[in-house]
Amino acid sequence: MKTKCILKSKKYYYHRQAYIKAYGEIPAGMCVRHLCHNPYCANVEHLVLGTHQDNMNDMVEAGRQSKGVNVHTSKLTNSIVKEIQIAKGKQPATTLAKKYKVHRTTIYRIWRKEAWRHI
């Protein structure tokens, strides 16, 4: 868990406080990104401003995005996804959806490589 501190009567995470002390206020809609990909780092040389989308792109590029079985709500496993991919064109999506207790849209998304692309 990131540690918070108080600066100008407001609570900030340490990296945000470090950024403010070094560079000034953070404009509305901007976030402080970590070039080192360490969320606990408060080294101002590692901190840059960016949009939320920039931050999400950093997460994906660094491989920190949860996917597949690492998503805590996932009902499928890698082996089941492989079975679903093999069944494309052989079994209806509704049949597979009932079998694996997911929505048929999930089956279609797996077939189109919109979901579980890493498999």
Provide the 3-class DSSP secondary structure of residue 50: strand
Q: What is the pLDDT of residue 38?
A: 87
27-62, pLDDT tens digit by residue? 999 999 999 988 888 899 999 999 999 999 998 888
Sketch the domain layout of the chain as residue ranges.
Answer: 4-61, 68-111
Residue 89 CB: number of other CB atoms within 10 A? Answer: 7
Three-state secondary-structure class, residue 28:
coil
Is pTM beyond 0.75 here? no
Q: Which amino acid is at 99?
A: K
Question: What pLDDT band is residue 6 in, cutting at 50, 70 and 90?
Answer: low
